[in-house]
Structure 1
Amino acid sequence: MNRPSRRVDAVLVQAVIAGALSFAHLHDIASAAGQGGWKAWAYPISVDLLLVAAWRRLRSGTAKAAAWCWFVVALAASLGANVATAGLLDVDQVPAWLRILVAGWPAVAFLGGTLLAHSVPAVEPDNDTEGDVEDQEDAPEPAPEPPAQPAIEALPVRPTVPVPTALVDHARKVAAEHHTRTGAPIDTPTLRARLGVPAPMAEAIAAQL
């Protein structure tokens, strides 16, 4: 069974080495400026996160002006720390202006990260859509159509068949007996067969039940 070959990406290795060196330089500057302990380690993380946030906004293609601004700020902080640790700065006697910059960096990074994370991209209007809307506004409104009247079908008129009251009472008893025995109401053909009357009279009796 062949094992998958593992290739080392030289660019990735170079990025890791450069990131580690920059991280260490930022830590050393923060520590020399009076930010000891965990705070000295938080400064390089803050700078790198601001760089990543600005780069992602640049890649998304929205709010490029703000993204470039904060990218340059974070890059200046990282590059300045790298240059300062090259022997140009006495870490034992850090100037006051550098202490002020290091102490004020958290507020700057918080502002930049918040603006980059919550800025709403501008939505450009669609020219075709605007033209359609203007055409619709200029076009006269169509006159409302009258509601369609439902078609009324002529129902066949059946002649009224006189039914004796006694026959109706008897039909009620037959219908009740049928419902008790079958559990269903009696239909007109069954009622006609039980009473022995013509179809018109059976329908007239069924209408009165």
Structure 2
Amino acid sequence: MSRKSLPHCDAVLVQAVIAGALSFAHLHDIAAAAGQNGWKAWAYPISVDLLLVVAWRRLRAGTGNGLAWAWFLIALVVSLGANVATAGFLDLHHPPAWLRMFVAGWPALAFLGGTLLAHAPALRARAPQPLAPTAPEPMAEPQVSTDDMPVAPLPPAEEPPAPTALPASEPSAQSPTPVPAPLVAHARKLAETHRATTGQPIDADTLRTRLGVPAPMADAIAAQLT
């Protein structure tokens, strides 16, 4: 077999195995000194190390940090205390009563810790949700004042047919009173508006009132509108 086919030996892994074996043996010795014989003495270090591993995995996953830290420290103190106690600080041939009490109550404590760690809700950090793209707001149309807008001229209104007869006080072919042409044109527009509104031809009295002229001139204008 060539040297390249030999498995790579990691010094860190070997050191971890040795440290774990020594800690395992110390926990076994403490349990045996407290009166736990046979397979019971071997079950104690397994429960301590498993609780330590489970709590550490919860810490690595970032879930339930407060609970995981509490049980990780409890398991670490128990493991470290067993290692220190076997160095001659306690008489393992005559263990104190509190040690016997703690070793006897450890299974219930380890079961509680393992159950809480196994069923604790995961508190994973939620990834931020991408913001939905917002539609650009429509630009406000400029307000245009109607006063500044040019006014288109109105188309000329069609002239209605001339009335067949217009009542006048004194009808005559020629008006004795001279009437300016613009006044006649204005009177014609008034007559057309009056006919469109009332359906009747305008009379001389209405022309006099609308134009504010004397009666003879109103009669002359009415004569020209016929």
Cα contact 2:62–2:123 (8 A) shared by 1:
no
Q: Percent identity?
A: 69
- Matched to 1:9, the amino acid is D
Distance 2:124 2:46 in 1: 33
Question: Deviation digits for residues 109-141 of structure 1, max 9, x if unmatched?
Answer: 000000101111136677759x98xxxxxxxxx
Cα contact 2:55–2:69 (8 A) shared by 1:
yes
Distance 2:122 2:104 in 1: 32
Q: State how 1:181-200 maps to structure 2 within 5 Å.
A: none
Seen in structure 2, the aligned counterparts of structure 1 residues 85 and 126 have a Cα distance that, compared at 3 Å, is: closer
Task: Say how many residue pairs are matched.
Answer: 132
Distance 2:128 2:7 in 1: 52
Distance 2:114 2:76 in 1: 14
> In structure 2, what is the equivalent of residue 178 of structure 1?
none
Distance 1:10 1:61 in 2: 28
Seen in structure 2, the aligned counterparts of structure 1 residues 75 and 125 have a Cα distance that, compared at 3 Å, is: closer
**TM-score, scaled to structure 1:** 0.58
| Higher share in helix | 1
Q: State how 1:62-101 maps to structure 2 within 5 Å.
A: 62-101=63-102
Higher Rg of the two aligned structures: 2
Q: Structure 2: which 5+ residue stretches go unaligned?
A: 133-226
Question: Deviation digits for residues 33-80 of structure 1, max 9, x if unmatched?
Answer: 011110000000000000000000001101001000000000000000
Question: Deviation digits for residues 134-174 of structure 1, max 9, x if unmatched?
Answer: xxxxxxxxxxxxxxxxxxxxxxxxxxxxxxxxxxxxxxxxx
**TM-score, scaled to structure 2:** 0.54
> In structure 1, what is the equivalent of residue 112 of structure 2?
111
Seen in structure 2, the aligned counterparts of structure 1 residues 128 and 100 have a Cα distance that, compared at 3 Å, is: same
